[in-house]
């Protein structure tokens, strides 16, 4: 898979590497313009990585997270099918969480990490001491964090579920998807729960800390610097209703939405099944690498290079 895909078009080029290949291949399979699929791939990448990398840039105060909000107006189901391909690696990687560790083991791991961190803080004299060997405390913490496998993807949550999932999230990062029914339930509900979900989505895009509202005397802690990407794929009528909403919380969320529709691409070519399977294995591997970094507790602060 060393060949790079370059395709002239509206925005210039689709780009090289795995993202370029996936968008071109899916565009060809479903007769869609790769440009409708490209932002979805970016959102999936952001969803895989979570908080593990942020960018320093002159256009944003503080560190900019990779969270994106994308809405796809899908009249005939083609975008929905393409989205399934893009999200499948994340689904597979997330399932590992449920298969490999039970809830009680996860609780034990969390306690063990806390105690190791406490000991490490007490005995470490300098901030620069960060021995990566597996026997060292940081090495042990990293290995345990990998086993925790934070929740990465929530599909079609009910109103209020998003806040609930984020309040118990291990690393405060999530990719959430909405289809016709779940989206309509969210903005038709007009409940406090639904409004809080929209507020949290907005905060997740900015990476701003979200105060969870008090529930029956219980006051949960804030969700610190959440990173939430959102993918909406629904019928044009439902999306139109969302975008026309006069509710301030919905309107603020809509301002962050990249809204795309089924734009026609070149007519479908015959599919080379071997090449297609190889490509999606490559896509899955790329996602896995990012997820591994996230599970290891990485916190990259990327800057613009001198040429930028």
Partner 1 sequence: MKHWRQEMRQASSSSSQQRLGLNVPVLAAKFALCSRLVASEGEPGVSGEAMDYSIRIADWCSKYSAGVRDMLTKSSRRATLVGAADAMLKRIREHGRITPRDLYRTYDCQRKELHDPVLEELINTGKVRCVDGFIEVVESTPVNQSSLPTDADVDSG
Nearer to partner 1, 212 or 243 (CB): 243
Min. distance of Cβ 302 from partner 1 in angstroms? 6
**Does 134 help bind partner 1 (rule: CB under 8 A)?**
no
- Using CA atoms, how far apart are residues 302 and 221, in angstroms rounded to an integer? 29
Which of the stretches 118-126, 149-157, 191-199, 298-306 binds partner 1 when contact is defined by CB under 8 A? 298-306
Q: Does 260 bind partner 1 (CB under 8 A)?
A: yes
What residues between 13 and 52 interact with partner 1 by CB under 8 A? Answer: 13, 15-19, 35, 38-39, 41-43, 45-46, 49
Cβ-based nearer residue to partner 1, 45 or 152: 45
Greatest pairwise CA separation for the chain in angstroms: 64
3-state secondary structure of 281: helix
User: Is residue 62 close enough to count as binding partner 1 by CB under 8 A?
Assistant: no
Query: Which residue in this structure is represented by tokens 């925790």?
Result: 148
What are the tokens at 221? Answer: 């802690």
Residue 85 CB, shortest distance to partner 1, in Å, is 16
Q: How far is the CB of 185 from partner 1 (least distance, A)?
A: 18
**What SS3 state is found at 60?**
coil
- Does residue 55 bind partner 1 (CB under 8 A)? yes
Q: Does 302 bind partner 1 (CB under 8 A)?
A: yes
Residue entry with tokens 């005397």: 217
Contact yes or no for 89/284 (Cβ under 8 A): yes
Name the nearest CA neighbour of 67 among 94, 38, 43. 43
**Quick one: which of 222, 240, 248, 268 contacts partner 1 (CB under 8 A)?**
240
Task: Compute the distance between CA of residue 190 and CA of residue 205 in angstroms, rounded to an integer.
Answer: 22
- Buried/exposed 193-230: b ≥16 CB within 10 Å, e otherwise: bbbbbbbbbbbbbbbeebebeeeeeeeeeebebbbbbb
Based on the shown chain and the rule CB under 8 A, indicate whether residue 64 belongs to the binding site for partner 1: yes
Residues 66-95 close enough to bind partner 1 by CB under 8 A:
66-68, 73
Binding span for partner 1 by CB under 8 A among 8-16, 83-91, 132-140, 164-172: 8-16
The full 3-state SS of 155-197, as one line of letters, equals ECCCCCHHHHHHHCCCCCEEEEEECHHHHHHHHHHCCHHHHHH
Count interface residues toward partner 1 (CB under 8 A). 54
Sites of contact with partner 1 (CB under 8 A): 10-13, 15-19, 35, 38-39, 41-43, 45-46, 49, 53-55, 57-60, 64-68, 73, 236-237, 239-241, 243-244, 255-261, 263, 286, 290, 302-305, 307-308
């Amino acid at each position: 898979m060393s060949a790079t895909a370059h395709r002239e078009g509206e925005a210039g080029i689709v780009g090289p590497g795995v993202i370029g290949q996936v968008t071109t291949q899916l565009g060809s399979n479903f007769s869609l313009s790769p440009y409708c699929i490209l932002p979805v791939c970016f959102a999936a990448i952001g969803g895989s990585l979570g908080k593990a990398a942020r960018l320093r840039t002159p256009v944003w105060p503080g560190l900019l997270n990779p969270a994106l909000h994308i809405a796809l107006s899908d009249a005939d189901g083609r975008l929905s099918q393409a989205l399934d391909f893009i999200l499948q690696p994340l689904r597979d990687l997330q399932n590992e969480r449920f298969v490999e560790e039970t809830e009680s083991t996860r609780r034990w791991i969390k306690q063990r990490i806390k105690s190791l961190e406490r000991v490490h803080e007490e005995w470490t004299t300098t901030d620069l001491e960060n021995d990566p060997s597996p026997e060292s405390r940081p090495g042990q913490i990293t290995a345990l964090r990998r086993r925790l496998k934070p929740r990465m993807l929530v599909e079609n949550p009910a109103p209020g579920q998003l806040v609930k999932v984020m309040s118990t999230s291990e690393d405060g990062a999530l990719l959430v998807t909405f289809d016709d029914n779940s989206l309509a339930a969210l903005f038709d509900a007009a409940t406090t729960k639904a409004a809080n979900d929209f507020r949290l989505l907005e905060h997740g895009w900015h990476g701003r800390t979200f105060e969870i509202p008090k529930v029956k005397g219980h006051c949960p802690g804030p969700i610190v610097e959440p990173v939430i990407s959102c993918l909406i794929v629904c019928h044009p009528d439902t999306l139109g209703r969302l975008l026309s909403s006069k509710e301030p919380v919905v309107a603020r969320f809509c301002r962050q939405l990249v809204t795309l529709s089924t734009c026609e691409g070149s007519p479908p070519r015959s599919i080379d099944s071997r090449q297609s399977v190889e490509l999606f294995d490559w896509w899955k591997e790329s996602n896995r690498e990012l997820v591994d970094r996230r599970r290891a507790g990485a916190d990259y602060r990327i800057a613009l290079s001198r040429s930028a």
